[in-house]
Chain A
Amino acid sequence: MSTVSRTLAQSIVQHRATKPVLFVAALIPVTLLTIGVVQHTLGPNPAETLIRSLGDWTLRFLCLTLAVTPLRQWTGLTALARLRRMLGLFTVFYAALHFSTYAVFDMGLVWPDIVRDIAKRPFILVGSAAFLLLLPLAATSFNRAIRWLGPARWQRLHRAVYAVGLLAILHFFWMRAGKRNFGEVAVYGAIVALLLGWRVVRATRGARYFMKLGSHSAKG
């Protein structure tokens, strides 16, 4: 990335309007889906469309969140870091909607049935596990929590998001396995593998490897 384009990108990302714009943009999917519900344009099986669309967006925001750090290292745009928390919290937001719509429209909020479903259906079990893992991450995303935990403990806790990524892909894979419909699973699986693999390489080769790479691109 040339110095000119990086400076421009940096100033866009750092701009104080960027976070509000991203916030509004992240609400577009749920807004469109709500409009779809009201106007009956979600197709013949609106409950299924709603639950699955919300699941899709959860996975997308999860991938975006996981992409922040590699992208930051790769482009040298350190300002991207300030967007990570918002993306992570939107992941939890969509996950909560995905789980709630499943509980309400698929299971009629009958909790004994939901518990039985979790026990009977492996893909619901791993999905619930992924969602439960996200909750402490959301709870400790605020500045006071970061200070209370201390940076080292906070970072170790938040590495749980890697497990969430793997559980999410497994959840998606098993859900599609019933009808052997694996195209999209393969795409998201590849993305998550790439994003997690990046962490593995960094851990084995050392952070300095990536800093050197970053400085190469800084030279343009």
Chain B
Amino acid sequence: MLLLKDRGFVHPVASEITPRAVFAARRRWLVAIGALGALGPRLARAGAASNGAPLPSARSAVAGAITMEKVTPLADAISYNNYYEFGTDKSDPAQHAHALKTRPWSVSIEGEVKKPIALSIDDLLKLAPMEERIYRLRCVEGWSMVIPWVGYSLSELIRRVEPTGNAKYVQFVTLADRAQMPGLTSSVLDWPYVEGLRIDEAMHPLTLLTFGMYGQLLPNQNGAPLRLVVPWKYGFKSGKSLVKIRFVEKQPATSWSLAAPDEYGFYSNVNPNVDHPRWSQASERRLGEGDLFAKKRPTLMFNGYEPQVGSLYAGMDLKKFF
């Protein structure tokens, strides 16, 4: 593939992306040999929490939307999650998220917009054509995955609600329902989970309003029925199970920034040069490669999306605005 630029790691060709049938087969294989450990029952429960319904899409033509790297196996993406509303262990969301009721579901678009509205999930599914995007996801903890998401650019929704001149930022609010979410009794974070973007970040074509992954609707533990995916920022910026999208004038509060302001900033752009106060962000472990001995890989500026998003931060001191 002559057009691929060598960014320092191997770019497999598109034909090497593992077909869905193989993901599912691996899942069955893992369940079979999981008799020794907890993996078997964990995957079975994880599967139960997945909605499973197919979500057709067309391959996205947006610049940077499709990475050629090896996609993480579905079994890993649905069983290794940070979704504290369902528990703080990585395996908790897969075990407990079945309690999440994703229908009926409504998202309120409010604040500095000319056309505030409450849209049902079915309205949102029809709002714009679905695209498949294969994004890198980099967690602040130092691991990463490659996930084929299904959705459309958030800008499609934003255009339709016509933000006013005062709309400088967008805030995203996740569901916080004690009846469905056992993790809410813990005060690890203030609830509901809130996140935010600058308006130009929200309007960027790569910012994805996401309804599915791996060709099917989002599993509950991955943020069903809709979530945000902002691939150039640490994963916690990508709020799950959204119920409210508010357009505001002032920089909004974000949950991890409230919990530890010296560790988690508003921007939280993936940046190997800006360490977390307590650990380096220079490298990451790509999960799903199946090999304990696989070395960590260097973390890329803006998670490898610098050509697409670098201009948003031109002239900004990224150590100060972390």
Q: Does A41 contact B36, Cβ atoms closer than 8 Å?
A: yes
Q: Does B263 contact A41, Cβ atoms closer than 8 Å?
A: no
| B296 within 8 A of partner (CB) | yes
A45 to B75, alpha carbons, bound, how many Å? 12
Q: Does B80 contact A43, Cβ atoms closer than 8 Å?
A: yes
A36 in complex: contacting residue of B36, B91, B186, CB < 8 Å: B36
B141 in complex: contacting residue of A43, A46, A179, CB < 8 Å: A179
| A108 within 8 A of partner (CB) | yes
B88 in complex: contacting residue of A46, A47, A120, A181, CB < 8 Å: A181
Q: Does B36 contact A45, Cβ atoms closer than 8 Å?
A: no
Closest A residue, CB atoms, query B82: A179
Enumerate A30-55 residues with CB–CB distance to B below 8 Å.
32, 35-37, 39-48, 50
Residues from chain A with a CB closer than 8 A to the CB of B251 are none
- State the Cβ distance, B27 to closest chain A Cβ, in Å: 12
| A183 within 8 A of partner (CB) | yes
A45 to B33, alpha carbons, bound, how many Å? 17
Residues from chain B with a CB closer than 8 A to the CB of A48 are 143, 285
Given A45-B285, A180-B189, A181-B88: A39 and B33 interface contact (C-beta under 8 Å)? yes
Interface of A (DSSP majority class) = helix
A48 to B280, alpha carbons, bound, how many Å? 16
Q: Does A179 contact B88, Cβ atoms closer than 8 Å?
A: yes
| A121 within 8 A of partner (CB) | yes
Q: Does A120 contact B292, Cβ atoms closer than 8 Å?
A: no
A43 in complex: contacting residue of B79, B189, B276, B279, CB < 8 Å: B79
Q: Does B279 contact A120, Cβ atoms closer than 8 Å?
A: yes
| A122 within 8 A of partner (CB) | yes
Total interface residues on A, CB under 8 Å, equals 31
Report the interface size class on chain B.
Answer: 35 or more
| B165 within 8 A of partner (CB) | no
Q: Does B80 contact A45, Cβ atoms closer than 8 Å?
A: yes
| A105 within 8 A of partner (CB) | yes
Residues from chain A with a CB closer than 8 A to the CB of B259 are 180
| B228 within 8 A of partner (CB) | no
A190 to B131, alpha carbons, bound, how many Å? 51
Given A39-B36, A120-B280, A178-B263: A44 and B189 interface contact (C-beta under 8 Å)? no
Residues from chain A with a CB closer than 8 A to the CB of B288 are 44
A: residues with CB less than 8 A from B are 32, 35-37, 39-48, 50, 105-106, 108, 117, 120-123, 174, 177-183
Q: 29 pairs across A/B with beta carbons < 8 Å?
A: A35-B36, A39-B36, A40-B30, A40-B290, A41-B30, A42-B37, A42-B292, A43-B39, A43-B80, A45-B143, A45-B287, A46-B292, A47-B285, A48-B143, A105-B292, A120-B275, A120-B279, A120-B280, A123-B278, A177-B278, A178-B141, A178-B263, A178-B278, A179-B141, A180-B188, A180-B260, A181-B88, A181-B188, A183-B186
19 more contacts with CB within 8 A, not counting A43-B91, A120-B279, are A32-B36, A35-B36, A36-B37, A40-B33, A41-B37, A41-B39, A43-B39, A43-B76, A43-B79, A43-B90, A44-B90, A44-B287, A45-B80, A47-B285, A121-B279, A178-B279, A179-B141, A180-B188, A180-B259
**Among all A-B residue pairs, the 9 with the closest Cβ atoms:** A44-B76, A44-B80, A180-B188, A41-B37, A181-B88, A44-B287, A46-B292, A41-B39, A45-B287
